[in-house]
A and B are shown apart, each in its own frame.
Chain A
């Protein structure tokens, strides 16, 4: 199991456009990726490819989230996803 932490950089938090971009990126990976707030237990982690899950997570600007995935290429995949979360997607 690979694990990464990321700080949400988007001004509006992880919803609207930033959530669309992130969910679409996860959806393109051949892996199952979960996401949870740093403060929540691992068993509450949700499907990171689901925009509805991301929206219900309610991660605001500055919140730390944990991404988890298993399998070949998980480390590289998570690194790329962290980069997306740590960019202010709303500003672009």
Chain B
């Protein structure tokens, strides 16, 4: 039996057959010529046929899509046969260049032109490159890039998934996600947890599996086995029983000895909020407001924003809802706010910093939040992302007060904010740790890079120590100002225990994780959680921290987590 080991990022055990994500289309070699048997006229005709086929396929997908993705697909379909793209390619074919190479070069120059125009156009450059890859795939007679189509549900195996792929992923067709690249905080991991799909990332070698191979995936252990036997089938059945019992959260996050740790939900809109409330969430610990802004060319009006926020507040009457102000930039660019030509967007004008370059957007957003809050009974807190200094925290708090928002807080994602939390908390009423960015900035490791998956773990003792320092800052400040966690770390039931032991007051996560986190938390006393936190912080590295804490929690084995 062949085994592969990676990092388990979303629990669950299933058996299913593999479908590989098609390989990215390789670049046709520079200088590739038409074969002797092919005339330029024949190659031109082939190119036109291929581009028409791609257009028809994209139009078909546009018809099935709705909203913003529909209009993007419609525009992309038009690009496939666009005279500017095709004419430039035909000119190259006439000089003897192969059709594949010709469309490749033509697409590159069009994409560069759009990129140079900046903003919204620069984002469309990606669409041109996607169209180009599809045309080359059609010319070569290979599968087009994108999530495979299949009638039977399958285990999706890929190098890594991009946000665009995950948006088209049908959770009824995909049983589990396994990637050879990606890290514990990559998009693959985030989407898998949100959809409740078992997932393993950074499993080197899985790209060699052939389509149709039957495999067993354990998303907690981080393993994949080829040709599963009776032992694995039993494990799947056992998991199905556990999953049924784990699907319910009773609505109170607490340790075994009654120390309350409210479990809150991370939501990205009203539909999410309604689901989270039904799943027992004690409030919202992170409302991502980007949902109002993404896929738009211009800023939404205050009235539009008020309606959108009201939808979330009304799902939690009398409960806490923490709103994060717009967090654009880096992996979430917005045409009217962020500069896509920055050489290093993660360290660029993103989050709260966009107020420097586009003043007014944040002020209007705070007005909209305050208006929506005044009309609802939800207890609305507001926090800014990417705060690095006490002055920024003070400025943000002042803006909130002007808007009439009484509980301003900040995210702790930049190590400087963790180190200076005592001073920051003299200005802010609370802090919330964004562990995904805090980890990438502490370890100087890009979240999306599979090769750096080990560095990019929130189990890194350095990250845990920064969390400990943030809590110590709150104690030093002296007014019991709350420290929460709203990153992916809170969704890991084992790490959640460690966070509580470090002194974190609330945990906010994707609603699906609340039952597992609640069950494990309930099995330990606060004193025990503190001991486990100490073990984790004093570990030599992230693996040791995780392994040693897991070994102290027998309930994990029982629950298959």
Contact = CB atoms under 8 A, between A and B. Distances in A.
A86 to B, nearest CB: 19
Contacts of B75: 16-17, 19-20, 51
B121 A15 contact: yes
A20 B262 CA distance: 49
Interface residues of A, number: 20
Interface in A1-58: 11-12, 15-17, 19-20, 23-24, 27, 46-47, 49-53, 55-56, 58
Given A47-B83, A50-B84, A55 B121 contact: yes
Interface residues of B, number: 19
Contact of B124 (A11, A24, A53, A55): A55
B207 interface: no
A33 to B, nearest CB: 11
B336 to A, nearest CB: 10
Interface in A41-91: 46-47, 49-53, 55-56, 58
A69 to B, nearest CB: 15
Nearest to B78: A51
Nearest to A52: B84
Dominant SS among interface residues on chain B: helix
Contacts of A51: 75, 78-79, 82
A52 B79 contact: yes
A50 B297 contact: no
B120 to A, nearest CB: 6
B297 A12 contact: yes
Contacts of A56: 84, 113-114, 117, 121
Contacts of B370: none
Nearest to A57: B117
Nearest to B62: A20
B84 A47 contact: yes
B237 interface: no
A12 B298 contact: yes
Nearest to B295: A16
Given A16-B120, A20-B75, A52 B298 contact: no
A58 B82 contact: no
A20 B113 CA distance: 18
A49 B113 CA distance: 18
A24 B298 contact: no
Contacts of B117: 55-56, 58
Nearest to B75: A20
A23 to B, nearest CB: 6
Nearest to B72: A16
B128 interface: yes
Contacts of B121: 15, 55-56, 58
Given A16-B297, A50-B84, A56-B117, A23 B78 contact: yes
A21 to B, nearest CB: 9
B78 A15 contact: no
A52 B120 contact: no
A27 B114 CA distance: 22
Interface in B52-84: 71, 74-75, 78-79, 82-84
A57 to B, nearest CB: 10
26 contacts: A11-B298, A12-B120, A15-B121, A15-B124, A15-B297, A16-B297, A20-B74, A23-B78, A46-B84, A47-B84, A49-B83, A50-B83, A51-B75, A51-B78, A51-B79, A52-B79, A52-B82, A52-B84, A52-B85, A52-B110, A55-B114, A55-B121, A56-B84, A56-B117, A58-B117, A58-B121
Given A15-B120, A53-B82, 7 more contacts: A16-B120, A20-B75, A52-B114, A55-B124, A56-B117, A56-B121, A58-B117
Interface of A: 11-12, 15-17, 19-20, 23-24, 27, 46-47, 49-53, 55-56, 58
Closest 7 CB pairs of A and B: A52-B84, A12-B297, A17-B71, A51-B78, A50-B84, A50-B83, A20-B75
